[in-house]
Structure 1
Amino acid sequence: MSPKADAIAEAVLSCFDQLPVKRKPAIRDNGLHEWVPLSGIVAEKAGKFECLALATGMKCLPATKMASANGAVLHDWHAEILAIRAFNRYLLDEIINSNDSILLPRNKASSNPGERSTQAYVVDPAVKLHMYCSEAPCGDASMELTMGAQDDETSWDLPQDQPHDLPGRAYFSRLGIVRRKPARNDAPVTLSKSCSDKMSLKQFTSLLSSATEVVISPENAYIDTVVLPESQFSDVACQRAFSATGRLSALENRMWDTSHTFQPFTIATTTREFQYSKRSVSSRAAKISASNLAAVWTRAGLEESTINGIIQGRKLGTSKSASETSRRLMWAAAERAMRTLAPEDELHQELFSRDYESFKSNPVLDVRRRVKGDVWRLALTGWLRNEGDTSFSLEL
């Protein structure tokens, strides 16, 4: 608990409070009170804290639906991951709208003659980026909390007939491992990795996504502090999940280039509680249920709600159903952002005129791919890629 951690939490909570009722959990007709996790990205500069992006949500796309997503359906809308996607969308929108953002000063290094680089921006080194989470990230960082709430001892051991499957929230005898998103035993299988695993990886790749990294250097875009409620913090679990003293020890002090290094974040706790956390809702209602709604807000003006990975109230497959944070629209935003920087050239065509798989495999992202490969091989072993949604193209 610290004044700084409370300020980070308050920056996110106060922005959420200003959202309209339609973006928030509801009380259903049958009397059930909904709860939902909240996460947000906060910029700190000169002692001031400003929320740049936030999201709520707690579900993900079944593996069987990946092939038909066509880039227009979110794969993972757990609040932590959706908030990071929203932050990336914020950055792209700032470039597209030519905003004089303190977050994105010009990166002079990228203008060297003959340099094959598109990274015209870099995060202001005077800015620190923080992340608030209303719940412990699912996966390894929350295993002690999950075990403490467990009544059924059958979840301790891993079945011998499933040695290669990514476990979800169960199999407590195995700690420090990569896990898929937790779900009911009867829920469709997903290969979306846990928030603990994805946040661990961000300590090596930065907060930037592939779409954003083609126009912004990841150099200063790493998380400085992750803030959790006191009740959601296990020091043992967080050290194991996120630090060089835990499962990431093989990559301590690792550097791939000046922009890609192991930059572990610190964990801080807050006394602030989100009014729609499971704990808060349980304290005022006898019957509660997880919300199906996911909401996104950014300081650049984006505000939307999604259900099952698409815009609320829209039909899957229609032109207006895709979230602004979906693969397709994030890639399209990166194309528009790059077009504001320079006329279309051969590299622009390579990045945006083919399919998404070609974009992801472009040499511009070679270092990023190498970083991820090394982390998967040496630390987050057992990581299975969530494949099947890369064949779509943009209509330029």
Structure 2
Amino acid sequence: MRNDHLNEDQVEKAANLVFQIYDKCPSRARPRSRSNEIPEWTNLAAVILVDRKPTIICAAVATGVKVMPNDKIKNCGGKILHDCHAETLALRGFNRYLLNESKRLEDDNVYVSTSVERHNGVGEPKYRIRSTLQLYLLVTEIPCGDASMENLGAGKLPNWEFDYKIMGQKMLKGRAYYSELGMIRTKPGRSDSPESLSKSCTDKLLMKQYTSVLLSPTSYVFSPKGAYLRAILVPRSKIIDSAFNRAFRIEERIKGIAKTQYDFDWIGYNTTFKDSKENTKAGGRPCSVSMVYIENESEQVEAITRGMRMGWKAGSEGSISKLSRRKMAELAGEISETVRNKLRYSELKDESTAREQIKWKTRSNLGRWIRTGDDDFQLCQN
């Protein structure tokens, strides 16, 4: 582990800050006891920025354990959030945070951001995360997928035989074939759930070591420099180093591709998240509502259900989350002329760019990476 990380006291301070913010969020966006008195639980993730003082900025907090079926997201026009797992929403929230900061810098010549600065690199996007800051992801549960196999029972449950002839090139659902480690897995984990093709949080985080945490629209506004995770902060009692090494270390899972200089570490913390599964009495059920907090939004908290903002008529303008593909692309287009000149969302994923090429190469080396259904749409033109 690098010696320039947060120390134990700083890690606990960061965790406490995240949970304090969560506790102040509206109760409608958090787990509750249902009418039959069955309690709910959820997972939480947060993106924090830390400087050398250290000053801790909690940019985004999210909860969630749900994902939309693949057949529900095809051709939805970028209006529905596909993946509402906490880690994915927190990273999307952080991208929204970055775009908000850059938009304010565009509009206000005297504004000084504590986290974003103008970037003077020739031929590169005009903004970057301040070079003094390090980026961390805090989670309250081991990311779903390969990193969590031991926690879910691998090595304890029957060693089911994995039939490659039957499976072919299919991906594994989250809880299938516990004995097969180092595999790409999809959400949700239950075998009787509708297929989503959304990759596990482990697999998505593994990819971030090559592509940065920037989403496609944000990558036209921000340089990837400084946009890589330094570490994941994880409950100390849940860390199994061998599982993390296998799941996240490039040389373990990706053969034939150069090791990246941006691989992240993992650091344990002790602070307890009160709404976690283990802190909910037996018989508790996962909360169907996801929550996103973004530090610099005028309306800081969104409650999300079925991929849309809760409390709005499905399909209405008000139901579209700020984190949706459509809203993120619209905001990026207000800042970047390159985005404004694109006709369709699919053009933001230009396969000729270095970012898309490394994504393709990494996925190819991982194998069994099947893309989710197309959700292309026309971008608003000025």
Mark yes or no: TM-score above 0.5: yes
Q: 2:4 — aligned with what? A: none
- Match for residue 367 of structure 1 among 337, 345, 354: 354
Deviation of the 1:108 alpha carbon: 1.2
Q: 1:258 — aligned with what? A: none
Deviation of the 1:387 alpha carbon: 2.7
SS at 2:116 equivalent: coil
Structure 2 unmatched runs, 5+: 1-6, 106-110
- Match for residue 386 of structure 1 among 337, 362, 372: 372
Q: 2:283 — aligned with what? A: 287
One-letter code aligned to 1:361: D
String of CA shifts for 1:66-109, please: whole Å, max 9, x gaps: 21421000010100000000000000011222352121111112
Q: 1:140 — aligned with what? A: 146
Deviation of the 1:201 alpha carbon: 0.4
Q: 1:228 — aligned with what? A: 234
- Match for residue 177 of structure 1 among 183, 186, 197: 183
**Contact 1:34/1:289 (<8 A) preserved:** yes
Q: 2:108 — aligned with what? A: none
SS at 2:268 equivalent: strand
Q: Partners of 1:23 and 1:271 in 2: how far apart?
A: 25
Task: Find out whether 1:165 has 2:170 as its counterpart.
Answer: yes
Counterparts in 2 of 1:31 and 1:356: CA distance versus 1, 3 Å: same
What TM-score results when the alignment is normalised by the length of structure 2? 0.90
Q: Partners of 1:239 and 1:250 in 2: how far apart?
A: 18
Q: 1:357 — aligned with what? A: 346
Between the two proteins, what is the percent identity of the paired residues?
31
SS at 2:186 equivalent: coil
SS at 2:118 equivalent: coil
String of CA shifts for 1:192-211, please: whole Å, max 9, x gaps: 00000000000111111111
Q: 1:268 — aligned with what? A: 267
What TM-score results when the alignment is normalised by the length of structure 1? 0.87
Deviation of the 1:350 alpha carbon: 2.7
String of CA shifts for 1:232-289, please: whole Å, max 9, x gaps: 21111100011144214644444xxxxxxx40011111111211110111xxx23300
Alignment of 1:320-335 (within 5 A): 320-335=318-333
SS at 2:45 equivalent: strand
- Match for residue 239 of structure 1 among 231, 245, 265: 245
String of CA shifts for 1:171-222, please: whole Å, max 9, x gaps: 1221111111133222111100000000000011111111111011011111
Aligned positions, number: 367
Task: Find out whether 1:32 has 2:23 as its counterpart.
Answer: no
Counterparts in 2 of 1:313 and 1:150: CA distance versus 1, 3 Å: farther
Task: Find out whether 1:200 has 2:206 as its counterpart.
Answer: yes
String of CA shifts for 1:264-319, please: whole Å, max 9, x gaps: 011111111211110111xxx23300000000001112310100100112222211
Counterparts in 2 of 1:287 and 1:147: CA distance versus 1, 3 Å: closer
**Contact 1:304/1:311 (<8 A) preserved:** yes
**Contact 1:123/1:219 (<8 A) preserved:** yes
Task: Find out whether 1:106 has 2:96 as its counterpart.
Answer: no
**Contact 1:124/1:220 (<8 A) preserved:** yes
Q: Which stretches of structure 1, 4 residues or longer, exceed 4 Å deviation after superposition?
A: 148-151
Q: 2:101 — aligned with what? A: 94
**Contact 2:61/2:294 (<8 A) preserved:** yes
Counterparts in 2 of 1:155 and 1:2: CA distance versus 1, 3 Å: farther
Structure 1 unmatched runs, 5+: 255-261, 339-343
**Contact 1:8/1:227 (<8 A) preserved:** no
SS at 1:191 equivalent: coil
